[in-house]
């Protein structure tokens, strides 16, 4: 089965530290199995699960043998790397951070405007970069009002994404935080659906941006 796998820099599996044999001279990397690699390294996932595993490198991977589904991944008995997807770059990762933050900023601006805070809403909407967006969101969240809750989420998405340091890790933080923010704190029966819907939007964004 053909799938995708996010790896740390140098084709390193982030879960186990296993260093993958990489393709050379136009040929796929060598097959590895449970005899030569940790079980958790032999994993891949479809495009729809990409947002759950963001890391520094994105690879096409082939899984073989019996497949086991576990959460948002598939484990195989054997696997090999087919090629790196060079479209996944630091710049794209930061664009995903921005897109995730703005997903939360839109309903935040609506809530602020509905409660008479038009200037704060406009600042959120007019922010030109992550720095501007974080400052606007932080300012809006300073006021003790229910409409400030989403603005605080926007500020947190921006701050913790930057705090992660590495672009891909920042994107992972932003994707997770924004999904939970948009699903809301209301733990009702439909919350898992709201979370899944936001993750699906993120996956579609990645597929479109990376040309998968």
CA distances from 129 to 43, 101, 135 (A): 35, 10, 10
pLDDT for residue 93: 97
For residue 52, the model assigns a pLDDT of 96
Residue 188 has pLDDT above 80, yes or no: no
Give the full edge-to-edge strand order of the sheet including 73-75. Answer: 43-44, 73-75, 68-70
Q: Give the tens place of pLDDT for each residue, 91-123.
A: 999 999 999 999 999 999 999 998 889 999 999
- Mean pLDDT (the chain) is 93
- Better-predicted residue by pLDDT, 182 or 204: 204
Whether 148 has a pLDDT exceeding 90, the answer reads no
DSSP 34: T
Are residues 43 and 137 both part of a single domain?
Answer: no
Domain that holds residue 46: 2-84
Q: Residues 95, 186: one domain?
A: yes
At residue 150 the predicted structure's pLDDT band, cuts being 50, 70 and 90, is confident
Confidence at residue 147, expressed as pLDDT on a 0 to 100 scale: 73
pLDDT at 200 over 70: yes
pTM, two decimal places: 0.92
Q: What is the pLDDT of residue 184?
A: 75
* pLDDT greater than 70 at residue 159: yes
3-state secondary structure of 45: strand
Residue 16 Rama label (left phi>0; alpha psi -120 to 50; beta):
alpha
Task: Mention every residue, 6+ apart, whose C-beta is less than 8 A from residue 122.
Answer: 109
What is the C-alpha separation between 167 and 56, in angstroms, rounded? 8
Residues 60 and 116 in one domain: no
Q: Of the candidates 124, 126, 128, which has an alpha carbon nearest to the alpha carbon of residue 154?
A: 124
Which CA distances in Å does 113 have to 35, 106, 122? 60, 11, 8
Provide the number of structural domains found in the chain.
2
Last residue of a domain, one of 56, 84, 112: 84
Q: Percent of the chain scored above 70 by pLDDT? A: 98
Both 107 and 59 in a single domain? Answer: no
Domain co-membership, 27 together with 52: yes
Domain end point (choices 41, 59, 84): 84
Sheet with 32-33, strands from edge to edge, namely 2-7, 57-64, 78-84, 32-33
The pLDDT, as a whole number, for residue 38 is: 93
Tens digits of residue pLDDT in 39-66: 999 999 999 999 999 999 999 999 999 9
Q: Which residues pair with 2 in a beta bridge?
A: 62
Say yes or no: 98 and 167 in one domain.
Answer: yes
Contact of 130 with 102, CB cutoff 8 Å:
no
* Pair 64, 154 in one domain: no
Nearest to 89 by CA among 29, 171, 27: 171
Cα–Cα distance list, 111 to 24, 139, 164, 167, 185 (Å): 54, 15, 29, 30, 16
d(CA 3, CA 134) in angstroms, rounded, equals 35
Q: Does residue 156 share a domain with residue 131?
A: yes
């Amino acid at each position: 089965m053909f799938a995708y796998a996010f790896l740390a820099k140098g084709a390193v599996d982030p879960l186990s530290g296993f260093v993958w044999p990489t393709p050379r001279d136009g040929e796929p990397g060598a097959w590895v199995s449970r005899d030569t690699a940790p079980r958790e390294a032999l994993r891949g996932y479809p495009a729809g699960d990409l947002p759950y595993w963001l890391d520094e490198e994105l690879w096409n991977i082939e899984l073989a043998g019996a497949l086991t589904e576990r959460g948002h991944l598939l484990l195989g008995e054997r696997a090999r790397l087919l090629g790196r997807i060079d479209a996944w770059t630091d710049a794209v990762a930061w664009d995903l951070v921005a897109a995730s933050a703005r997903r939360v900023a839109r309903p935040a601006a609506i809530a602020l405007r509905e409660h008479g805070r038009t200037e704060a809403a406009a600042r959120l909407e007019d922010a030109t970069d992550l720095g501007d967006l974080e400052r606007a969101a932080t300012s809006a969240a300073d006021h003790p009002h229910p409409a400030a809750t989403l603005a605080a989420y926007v500020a947190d998405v921006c701050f913790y994404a930057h705090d992660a340091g590495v672009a891909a890790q920042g994107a992972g933080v932003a994707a997770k935080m924004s999904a939970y923010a948009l699903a809301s704190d209301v733990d009702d029966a439909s919350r898992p659906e709201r979370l899944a819907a936001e993750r699906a939007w993120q996956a579609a964004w990645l597929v479109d941006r990376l040309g998968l």
